[in-house]
A and B are shown apart, each in its own frame.
Chain A
Amino acid sequence: MVNLANPTAFVEVARRLLPWLAAATAALFVAGLWLSFAAPPDYQQGETVKIMYLHVPAAWMATFVYAVMTAAALGTLVWRHPLADAAQKAAAPLGAGFTFICLVTGSLWGKPMWGTYWVWDARLTSVLALFIIYLGIMALWRAIDDPGRAAKAAAILTLAGAVDLPIIKFSVDWWNTLHQPASVFRLGGPTIAPSLLLPLIVMALAFTGLFLTLHLMAIQNEILRRRIARVTMLAAHEGDRLAPGLAAGGA
């Protein structure tokens, strides 16, 4: 079995996997968008339901990416996996992107359906908090120069922020919210008509494929960044080793 903890082996596996993953993601987006626009209007929301084919998958990805980051944070702090911090760092901007899509599309759906772009309801506020946590983690990575210290600090912040995940999930059950409760992943099965559920599932798979593709590429970038730092340091070391000799020869 390939040792994925080895960065060189990981890059090789990712290099082989990426074209297939990217092609599958593109095909899923084409199918998902076609199904979304061919789907009938909802009996209550009308055509506005089409925004849900973006909003719901983006919301799922916002929390899924954070769950991946939480696992990576544990990998950094507990198991000291050599790629865990790279995976955590690479996922944060992607998670922020999905959360941004979730918030904006939700807002654009809210105006015609609820009559307002925003309410400080538990679900909306907890997702906004998730977006701010993503930005905070990205800022923390940039604020600390030493990569080892930055990885530990970001892992601790990620674990602390994970408390927001159950709050997001159960906010619609714990509090009276304007946001509707779960309608797909619930005991008793989905409450959505199959003609509306199919495009939603295909779009969710497309969003998942997009995350996996971009995450693999971004981890490769982190590995490259470390190689550059190592090679630059070696070059500087060689230069330093050579400099006294050159100085002595010149004297």
Chain B
Amino acid sequence: MMAGPHLGFIVAAYAVAALTIGAMIAWVVLDSRRLNTELARATRALDRAKGGAKGEVR
């Protein structure tokens, strides 16, 4: 690409788009990781509660 008089505007446009797309990807990926961790913790809590309930029956 030829460095024209408006190069700064072009670079800024691509930088903003890259940052926004990066933020969208990060939002989805980090949310997925956090939720998977949270689900594993909640499942463990449920298993513990069920284990306690079985103990109660016995």
Q: Is A218 an interface residue (CB 8 A)?
A: yes
Docked Cα-Cα span, A241 to B50, in Å, equals 10
CB nearest to A49 among chain B residues:
B10
Is A214 touching B9 in the complex (CB atoms < 8 A)? no
Known contacts A238-B52, A242-B49, A105 near B39 by CB under 8 Å: no
Q: Is A121 an interface residue (CB 8 A)?
A: no
Q: How many residues on B have C-beta within 8 angstroms of the other chain's C-beta atoms?
A: 37
**For chain B residues 8-58, which have a beta carbon within 8 Å of chain A?**
9-10, 12-14, 16-17, 20-21, 23-25, 27-29, 31-32, 35-36, 38-39, 42-43, 45-46, 48-50, 52-53, 56
Docked Cα-Cα span, A225 to B42, in Å, equals 11
Q: Which chain A residues lie closer than 8 Å to B9 at the CB level?
A: 48, 51, 108-109, 111-112
CB nearest to A220 among chain B residues:
B32
Q: Which chain A residues lie closer than 8 Å to B23 at the CB level?
A: 97
Binding site for B on A (CB under 8 A): 37, 41, 46-48, 50-51, 54-55, 58, 93-94, 97, 100-101, 104-105, 108-109, 111-112, 210, 214, 217-218, 220-221, 224-225, 227-228, 231-232, 234-235, 238-239, 241-242, 245-246
